[in-house]
Amino acid sequence: MHLINFKELSSQQLMEIIDKAIEAKFNPEKYRTVLNGKSLAMIFQKTSTRTRVSFEVAMTQLGGHALFIDWRTTNLALADIHDEIRYLSRNVDCIMARLMKNADLQAMAKASRVPVINGCDEKYHPSQAVADLMTMKEKKGTLKGVKLVYIGAHNNVCNSLIEGCTKTGVKITTVTPIFNEPSRDEELLENARKTGLYEPTLNVKKAVKDAEFVYTDTWIDMEFFQDPKYAEEKEKRVKLMMPYQINKELMKRSNAYIMHDMPIHRGYEISSDIIESSKSVIYEQSENRLYSAKAILLKLLQKY
Ligand code: CP
């Protein structure tokens, strides 16, 4: 079993992972040696703080070992993915990769004889969504019928939230004036529409009014944020998205918890006062990346 997105997971399996993450959070000793002798290869083509740290610490706390592999320092950079992964999967027990292209991740999954975890590509960010759903379940005690509003660009995080929410009974409304075309997955959106739990809108004020969670993410993908070649597009996006910033004015009639997958761009998608407000669960959400990484690893390595 791989975790590229949630398409291959049943609702029950996804709920099991979320519940295992909550259980692992409060019973770390129970899992201290479960992955004794196991190794996780973590391959990165892009930068990361949370995904790298959470998976590496998860492996350590489960009794295993993680290798950080910068794509550029390996022969993945010059050889065929298929050949390199055929080799790698003979020496490690699991692979987690953050790649630019989902197609390369799919190629990895096809070549690998061990589970492959998507550590975020242009289409999906499933390990983030597990931590998000876990955080929501911790706050509300259930996911069924909970209302989440995502405000920002329609991107990889948005896709995985739509998929994760609609599989677990969460009502998700998206307010996405920008659609990142490389993230488009019509099949995922069609499946979400069929559940009746997914509603896109541009009426941001109405959307947040009865939301229980309001979630945002960067308007500009991490690899472009500081790229001078992207400056014009960045300026255009900031102008278009500023009316959708999560700030005191937008949230004045809402009692929703505030979520953000981080890294945060203060003053862009969210104001500093909202990040620091009593309704912000952003740092709990980021802490939960560790427990969700544990639950994902335990599931894929068949420990429950
Ligand atoms: N949210 C998230 O994936 O964080 P990193 O980019 O720091 O890994």
- pLDDT tens digit sequence for 164-193: 999 999 999 999 999 999 999 999 999 999
Q: How confident is the model at residue 230 (pLDDT cuts 50, 70, 90)?
A: confident
Point out the ligand 1 atom lying closest to the alpha carbon of residue 98: 8
Mind listing the pLDDT tens digit for each residue in 41-88? 999 999 999 999 999 999 999 999 999 999 999 999 999 999 999 999
Cα–Cα distance for residue pair 127/14, rounded to 1 Å: 11
Considering the chain, what is the average pLDDT of its residues? 97
- For the entire predicted model, the pTM comes to 0.97
Identify which of 46, 49, 56, 216 to mutate to test ligand 1's pocket (most ligand atoms within 8 A of the CB): 49
| CA-nearest residue, atom 3 of ligand 1 | 51
Ligand 1: distance of its center to the CA of 49 in Å? 5
Geometric angle at alpha carbon 178, from 172 and 179, rounded to 5°: 75
221 pLDDT more than 90: no
| CA-nearest residue, atom 7 of ligand 1 | 49
289 pLDDT more than 80: yes
Tokens read off for 221: 């993908």
| CA-nearest residue, atom 4 of ligand 1 | 50
Tokens read off for 145: 């019928």
Mind listing the pLDDT tens digit for each residue in 189-220? 999 999 999 999 999 999 999 999 999 999 98
Closest to 89 (Cα-Cα) out of 60, 74, 109, 63: 109
Q: Provide the residue count of the chain.
A: 304
Give residues with Cβ within 8 angstroms of 167, minimum separation 6: 6, 9, 11, 14
Cα–Cα distance for residue pair 118/54, rounded to 1 Å: 14
Q: Which residues pair with 43 in a beta bridge?
A: 69, 97
Residues in contact with ligand 1 (CB, 6 Å cut-off): 48-51, 120, 128, 261-263
